[in-house]
Chain A
């Protein structure tokens, strides 16, 4: 038996085979690998936090038997002043501090060891300019904050603060924004 001395009629080179094997191996590896990382962990936790934030606003805006919600009462009774660095809520504003208490106790089952911080802003237009006023401040929002918002309409007949009465723009639509983030 003799080997042929020319290079015709052979598989072109072993390189071709090897490359094909590598390709198939890579594909199999991608399709079948089970990662130990929970899928899209970052997105899932963001979604969960967003859902919690949105739920909080929905729950606070629940109209009770007298057709008014805690959220609406707080916004309608708001005196127009912002929260400051030294004060979590506007000084003397009991409705807003009630909202803060509710948020603090409900974001986690144990407020003492809560790993969530939040900020509440009131956004409205007074006919000439847009105003964006923070009314509950718990530190600086992180880069990964999520925001949910809800519209509250204040009518003439509602129990309003002198702040809204002076503006005298009814119905006044106010956007309440709740931002939250993990500490």
Chain B
């Protein structure tokens, strides 16, 4: 065997030295600039965008369902009243023009859907990558000061790599007739022990409960109950407390009547839609024990003094997403 006696085709000490300097510099750069190579990672960056998108669709969009009339496909945002098969997209906003204002009916419908995979499909999380998700919506009733959890959808699958998005929203809990007791009466009629409200102008298509909110009532009073009439000449139709109507004191339900209030308290009288529709009630009388209520008859729909307004409470909507595919 003959040894090579020249020095070609060998590595030399200069190369080893250069190589070490390169490696040390590279490791230094990699360690001290943590965000440098992150954009090249597949999947990881995606999750934040998915969380943002899911939150935006649910909070800013009213959703959509499709139906077919005379062979023509039509659509409408009122998906909460439809069967599951008709829903094409779930969204919680009241309408397209009012982002961040969520409809309580849509929230309740979403909360009633138990099929996790169906919801995933309707909020667009089962594309080429299947994402898991969790939602929660906490509302603060500013009258009672209590936190109420309206939505809590979780997944049995867990993963450590979770991204979340939190949105501040208003939850539209429905219409209420605001009866401000400090307002002087148009007709100059004295205060009465009975608040007479005409609900004849509510259309039968309206499925919301009928609610009166009494505030700034001058003096202490006790609410004894509610009378209802089809017309003033007919005999009154009795309503059953708790099953057909309910009274709330400062946002908290009252268990039984009578209940007393003072000037700073807010009373809410909620009459369920089913009770009104089943008996075609047109007049509701709120009975108190002293002459503190407005003397004029109030129209629920179009009263010149007292307005029916939507009551919105602040809430926090949180969506979490993760995936086992990435």
Contact = CB atoms under 8 A, between A and B. Distances in A.
Contacts of B21: none
Interface in B69-98: 98
Contacts of B100: 55, 58-59, 62
B208 to A, nearest CB: 14
B11 A18 contact: yes
B24 interface: no
A52 B15 CA distance: 55
A81 interface: no
Contact of A39 (B10, B23, B48, B101): B48
Interface stretch (A6-14, A84-92, A121-129, A131-139): A6-14
Contacts, number: 107
Contact of B19 (A22, A34, A39): A22
Contact of B138 (A31, A47, A64, A109): A109
Contact of A64 (B52, B168, B310): B310
A130 interface: no
Contacts of B163: 38, 44
A173 interface: no
A2 B2 contact: yes
A30 interface: yes
A14 B9 contact: yes
Interface in A61-91: 62, 64-66
Contacts of B309: 64-66
Interface in B5-57: 5-6, 8-11, 15, 19, 22-23, 26, 34-35, 37-38, 40-41, 44-45, 47-48, 52
Contacts of A102: 314
A56 interface: yes
A144 B165 CA distance: 19
Interface residues of B, number: 48
Contacts of B48: 39-40, 44, 47
Nearest to A30: B37
Contacts of A26: 26
A48 interface: yes
Nearest to A59: B170
Contact of A30 (B8, B22, B40, B170): B40
Interface string A35-52: 101111010100110011
A18 B10 CA distance: 12
Contact of A56 (B6, B168, B308): B168
Contacts of B44: 34-35, 39
A17 B273 CA distance: 82
B6 A7 contact: yes
B99 interface: yes
A166 interface: no
A106 interface: yes
Contact of A15 (B5, B15, B312): B15
B169 interface: yes
A59 B310 contact: no
A55 B318 CA distance: 13
Interface in B277-317: 307-310, 312, 314, 316
22 contacts: A1-B1, A7-B6, A7-B9, A11-B9, A15-B11, A34-B41, A35-B44, A37-B35, A39-B47, A42-B35, A48-B165, A48-B166, A51-B166, A52-B166, A52-B168, A55-B167, A62-B100, A62-B170, A62-B312, A66-B309, A105-B314, A109-B316
